Amino acid sequence: MIQSELFIFNVGKGDGKKSIAVHSKAVATKSAYFWALMNNGMAESRERTVEYTDIEPEDFARFVEYAYRHDYTTPSWVHEKTHMEDQALPVQETVIAIREPITRSIVDIGPILIDPHRQPSSTSRLGQPSLENRWENWGSDKISKKKKKSKPEGVVNLRAGFNKLSYLTSSEPQAAMLAAFKPQYNTAVDQDFTPVFLAHARLYTFACMRGVDPLKRLTLHKLHQTLVGFQLYMRRASDIVELARYAYRQGDDRKDDGTKDELRQLVLEYIVCEVTTFGKHPAFLDLLHEGGEFVVDFWSLAYKEEFEA
């Protein structure tokens, strides 16, 4: 892969346009679209360059990172000034029912009298050596001869220390890289997650347009995990609204059988789950006023969950 030819992607528009060189095999293996782009003999494949004006350089850089590492770094949130009146929504406590311990019935057979001073007898009732006594030392000589000699204490301690050896630390480059791949979660009201949500969504759109299905699934996974751990402060509801607005402006429209774009479905379900918060938020009301498929999809799902569940 590293020895393959470089392919130039001219990404973005205007002053923000950048040329990004990528090893052709790193990208060609990601989908049939990219394989054809670099190998079908058309102008782009001959000149080893293509124009991409529908994506920003920072978003395409995440795709390049994915092409080499099969993952991409999660974008960062933006800091905002804190408003003291903003509070996190209460977290619903999970109630786990614990069964009462099962009481087993015990048959009372009366007290059993045992002489605490009585010594075990080595003979049976008939005056013969008991069965246990007769077989107690059978084969003991052979067993003792085969008994493995124990290792010196020093060797045992050396082995224990050897097994615990560790050469990597938590600050290794690989550890830092893997940590950057993990979804981020907000912990304060002044953390604006709009850039985080939209970066995942834009990369999802890029993957859909170029047929990179594994990347499409990865973006949905990361976005889902971020939403699951998202603290929905009232002030942060607008972050989700912007994500919904993007999804309904960029994604495919609803199909005749009612199937919706996966990004739209994901955002829609989250909003309906938190409808008591979004229903009174000005940004969400503005989204409803804009009309379009979102209003129909939202009402259909909200009605289904409220009255048909």
Q: What is the pTM of this model?
A: 0.74
pLDDT (tens digit, 9 = 90+) per residue, 232-255?
999 999 999 999 999 999 978 888
Distances (CA, A) of 145 to 13, 150, 278: 85, 13, 79
> Given this model, what pLDDT does residue 154 score?
84
Smallest Cα–Cα separation from 240: which of 218, 210, 273, 204? Answer: 273
Handedness of CA 131, 133, 134, 138 (dihedral sign): positive
Bridge-based pairing state of the strands 18-23 and 6-11: antiparallel
Q: Any idea which of 148-157, 198-207, 290-299 has the lowest mean pLDDT?
A: 148-157
Q: Are 254 and 293 in contact (CB under 8 A)?
A: yes
pLDDT (tens digit, 9 = 90+) per residue, 115-127?
545 555 544 444 5
Residue 76 token pair = 């960062």
Smallest Cα–Cα separation from 7: which of 44, 52, 40, 53? Answer: 44
Query: Quick one: how far is CA 213 from the chain centroid?
Result: 17
302 sits in which H/E element: helix 293-303
pLDDT (tens digit, 9 = 90+) per residue, 81-90?
655 444 444 4
Q: Per-residue pLDDT for 185 more than 90? A: yes
